[in-house]
Amino acid sequence: MTAVLVPDATRQIVPPEERYATELAFLAAYDSGPRPPAWRLTPRAVVTFVMGSGGRALRLPDDAEVPDGVPRRLEVAGKFVGDRALVERCVVTLAGERGLLLVGEPGTAKSMLSELLSAAVCGTSALVVQGTAGTTEDQLKYGWNYALLLAQGPSRQALVPSPVLTAMSRGAVARVEEVTRCLPEVQDSLVSLLSERRIAVPELAGTEDGLAHAAPGFTLIATANLRDRGVSEMSAALKRRFNFETVGPIGDLDAETALVRGQARASVERAGAPFRVDDTVLEALVTAFRDLREGRSAEGWEVERPSTVMSTAEAVSVAGALGLAAAYFPGDRDVLELLPGHLLGVVRKDDPADAARLRGYWDGPVRRRAEQGSATWRTLWDLRTVLEG
């Protein structure tokens, strides 16, 4: 029997391979179909892990070996709110050992999706390089333990593999976050790596360690924000090494509200406080974010879009702040009264002039909804003076 790892509740963030260890072990036993080389789950099971089992409990086959701590029946929770076909295309790309590039606006869960996919495919999401302007080629390939290098000269023991090289040797999934933030010459180091599937180590030339080959199953997931296209544009050669998939905002109001509620509740309860934000407040929050993000209200009224990204991730942050305010300052103010100030803080992140656009939103959809008799939007309209600060 294989013991299932119990997540450590003392950490702020638990990686998906630990947080959902029971689900991963269950799905490995549930679907015994064909798997690509080195995969922990079948492609179908990977999609089920990411998207959930649709509210129904799955049952292990009678002859399936059940790991310790794994139930025979289990409902798999949905973790990514989006298009199932998108996830299926991502899984097919990885099964073909081709690079996958997830692009989209900030806050659309690209990183979360890459973590879930890598955890389900190879059992770890930790083989990651964070792309920045300071990322070097060594961080994508390898470095050296200089104490050993000076003492012994170039050797395999002195080599410090990058997360990408480690993934190559294991036949696992490597992740590169914000690849367009890396300098072009650093990005270009991925071209030969994804084409030739090997990394040369000139210092060890002539030895069996002078050329590191990718094991079957190795592939790479990169993410890039559409807002960062002008930072370090990818070369045409590098683009050809990836399949592009665009991760868009959540299309359904109810689904986005449920996601914001769930994640905000989890963050507040992790702080040891109860979550006491009414659904009417959350719906108003998410509605405002969606209107400002799309440049049009649900009723079809035009809205001037702010330059900042009104992402779902930002909505979760605001909902969490409202929840903490309600928990730590109970009875001081109605939580709804705090919403305009938080929205103002979000829209002014990139351009102070966006405050005027938010006031325009108040003079438009907020006022009209108040005039139509909504008590929630009436309260928000009465709070317009908060936006004058």
Tens of pLDDT, residue by residue over 261-305, are 999 999 999 888 999 999 999 999 999 999 999 999 999 999 999
Per the CB < 8 A criterion, the answer to whether 38 and 215 are in contact is yes
332 band by pLDDT with thresholds 50, 70 and 90: confident
1 band by pLDDT with thresholds 50, 70 and 90: very low
Averaged pLDDT of the chain: 92
pLDDT of 2 higher than 50: no
Residue 174 and residue 126: Cα distance in Å, rounded? 8
Residue 370 and residue 159: Cα distance in Å, rounded? 65
Residue 326 and residue 335: Cα distance in Å, rounded? 6
pTM (two decimals):
0.90
Q: What is the pLDDT of residues 195-222, one digit of tens each?
A: 999 999 999 988 888 899 999 999 999 9
Tell me which CATH code domain 81-246 carries.
3.40.50.300
**DSSP letters spanning 160-212:** EE-HHHHHHHHT-EEEEETGGGS-HHHHTHHHHHHHH-EEE-GGGTTSTTSEE
pLDDT of 3 higher than 80: no
Question: CA quadruple 77, 81, 85, 90: dihedral positive or negative?
Answer: negative
Residue 59 and residue 102: Cα distance in Å, rounded? 33
Residue 118 and residue 233: Cα distance in Å, rounded? 25
Angle at 238 (CA atoms; ends 235, 243), nearest 5 degrees: 125
First to last CA, the chain: 62
- Kindly give the residue spans of alpha helices, DSSP state H, lying in the chain: 16-19, 21-30, 43-51, 84-95, 110-122, 137-140, 146-152, 163-170, 184-187, 189-196, 236-239, 253-270, 279-294, 312-328, 339-347, 354-361, 367-371, 375-382
Q: Which of 309, 286, 308 is nearest to 298 (CA)?
A: 286
Q: Which of 349, 361, 364, 358 is nearest to 387 (CA)?
A: 358
Domain borders along the chain are 81-246, 253-388
Parallel/antiparallel/unpaired status of strands 211-213 and 219-225: unpaired
Residue 25 and residue 153: Cα distance in Å, rounded? 43
**Which 8-state DSSP code applies to residue 132?**
-
Q: Which of 150, 168, 170, 169 is nearest to 158 (CA)?
A: 150
- Could you tell me the CA-to-CA distances from 30 to 92, 94, 317 in Å, in that order? 20, 21, 36
Per the CB < 8 A criterion, the answer to whether 164 and 140 are in contact is yes
Residue 304 and residue 105: Cα distance in Å, rounded? 18
Average pLDDT over residues 300-313: 93
| 93's tokens | 């790309």
Q: What is the pLDDT of residues 116-172, one digit of tens each?
A: 999 999 999 999 999 999 999 999 999 999 999 999 999 989 999 999 999 999 999
